């Protein structure tokens, strides 16, 4: 097969653009990925207990983007699922994000009623207030509540997750940790919240199932692609088609300007000999003593109404990314700040000089995208490509 497009990466960014180009433009597409599986971090499989688990951490589909929802529906059946998270706070299990129910469980009735009344008066109901904003509020009682949440829910969880103090973290990240003036205990309030009935891997299989697409796994892009004088060579020959790159941009350019910082994760799976281990899919552990941040129990989120006597849980340990290590060598979360963005933009400038070369996805764009935004970015890129063809 002679290829018109080469897509590096078989996650949602790569699979979406490959599917659109192959099926809408009738172009030949090669998809390569250094892993031995498609799906990127979304890869899931049936474990020895018969439970559908996510190898690289839990992934929940939620979006307000109707175009993304409608697009994914083409590739499999989904079931309605609203994710709920609890947190172990001072020995009590409370909803996360911290909400009205959390306040009622954490304080005596008189104090809880007073705090809830003030929050409703000052901010209104069904409002989310970032914890760092709440800490700056002048009201004494609100400030006391904010400090309690900051110390017991936010501080150590955030430090474990990012290896930084909250003040050092990009506000776009900290804004994801609000106090919710509501009894709505859903972790997301998006219009569309679903999980794939047969898992994400099956979705990717259908996306990439085209006579115009060839998939090669276990192939490092650096082994087959290189750039010289702004010309891309594939397997030693000049490639005159289009390359869409979804991996880490610093890796593609051999870290010429230095390595971009990321956070990584390590996972510990365990079989529990009972039907369920915890009441919801995710329980957070925001204390300093627990080195992991959360425990995921996959049956809650992947096995709709399944009756299996055992259950699989996964403890999640954030850690520093080290590309040279045997562990923690997967870049999960870009660490976005001014210094790192300056470094990233140097790579973008270098990439912009290469004709028909596009960057798409969390790693290539160095942004903390949820999966729906990654798909939306890929769909927008396809629209641009379609107009240029």
Q: Give the Cβ contact number of residue 357 at 10 Å.
A: 16
Quick one: pLDDT at residue 133? 85
pLDDT, mean of residues 180-198: 96
Q: How confident is the model at residue 176 (pLDDT cuts 50, 70, 90)?
A: low
Can you tell me the distance from the alpha carbon of 288 to that of 384, in angstroms, rounded to the nearest whole number?
Answer: 47
Quick one: pLDDT at residue 174? 63
* Residue 204 neighbours by CB under 8 Å, 6+ apart: 10, 15, 38, 39, 42
| CB neighbour class for 360 (10 Å; exposed up to 12, middle 13-18, buried from 19) | buried
Summarised one tens digit per residue, pLDDT across range 15-68 is: 999 999 999 999 999 999 999 999 999 999 999 999 999 999 999 999 999 999
Residue written as token pair 């996805």: 361
pLDDT, mean of residues 252-259: 96
Can you tell me the distance from the alpha carbon of 162 to that of 25, in angstroms, rounded to the nearest whole number?
Answer: 41
Q: How confident is the model at residue 306 (pLDDT cuts 50, 70, 90)?
A: confident
Looking at every residue in the chain, the average pLDDT score rounds to 94
CATH superfamily of 5-38+208-258+335-388: NAD(P)-binding Rossmann-like Domain (3.40.50.720)
**Angle between helix 109-123 and helix 140-149 axes, rounded to 10 deg:** 110
Q: Provide the residue ranges of all domains of the chain, joining segments of one domain with +.
A: 5-38+208-258+335-388, 51-84+187-195+262-333, 88-181
Q: Are 84 and 96 in contact (CB under 8 A)?
A: no
Q: How confident is the model at residue 175 (pLDDT cuts 50, 70, 90)?
A: low
């Amino acid at each position: 097969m002679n290829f018109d497009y080469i897509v590096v990466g078989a996650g949602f960014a790569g699979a979406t653009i490959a599917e659109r180009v192959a099926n809408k433009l009738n172009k030949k597409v090669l998809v390569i990925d250094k892993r031995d599986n498609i799906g990127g971090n979304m890869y899931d499989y049936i474990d020895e207990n018969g439970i559908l688990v996510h190898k690289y951490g839990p992934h929940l589909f939620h979006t307000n983007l109707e175009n993304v929802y409608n697009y994914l529906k083409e590739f499999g059946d989904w079931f309605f699922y609203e994710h709920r998270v609890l947190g172990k706070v001072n020995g009590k299990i409370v909803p996360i994000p911290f909400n009205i129910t959390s306040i009622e469980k954490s304080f005596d009735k008189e104090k809880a009623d007073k705090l809830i009344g003030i929050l409703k008066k000052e901010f209104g109901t069904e409002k989310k207030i970032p914890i760092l904003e709440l800490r700056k509020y002048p009201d004494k009682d609100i400030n006391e509540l904010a400090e309690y949440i900051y110390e017991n829910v936010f501080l150590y969880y955030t430090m474990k997750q990012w290896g930084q103090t909250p003040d050092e973290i990009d506000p776009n990240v900290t804004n994801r940790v609000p106090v919710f003036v509501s009894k709505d205990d859903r972790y997301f309030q998006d219009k569309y919240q679903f999980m794939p009935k047969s898992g994400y891997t099956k979705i990717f299989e259908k996306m990439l199932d085209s006579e115009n697409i060839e998939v090669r796994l276990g192939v490092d892009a650096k082994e087959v692609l290189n750039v010289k004088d702004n010309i891309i060579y594939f397997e030693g020959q000049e490639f005159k088609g289009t390359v869409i790159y979804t991996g880490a941009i610093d890796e593609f350019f051999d870290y010429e300007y230095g390595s971009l910082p990321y956070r990584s994760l390590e996972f510990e799976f365990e079989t529990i000999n009972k039907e369920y281990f915890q009441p919801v899919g995710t329980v957070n552990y925001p204390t300093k003593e627990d080195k992991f941040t959360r425990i995921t129990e996959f049956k809650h989120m992947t096995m709709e109404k399944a009756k299996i006597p055992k259950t699989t849980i996964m403890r999640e340990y954030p850690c520093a990314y080290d590309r040279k290590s045997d562990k923690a060598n997967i870049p999960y979360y870009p660490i976005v700040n001014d210094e790192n963005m300056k470094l990233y933009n140097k790579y973008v400038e270098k990439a912009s000089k290469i004709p028909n070369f596009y960057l798409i996805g969390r790693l290539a764009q160095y942004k903390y995208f949820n999966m729906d935004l990654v798909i939306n970015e890929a769909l927008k890129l396809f629209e641009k490509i379609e107009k240029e063809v």
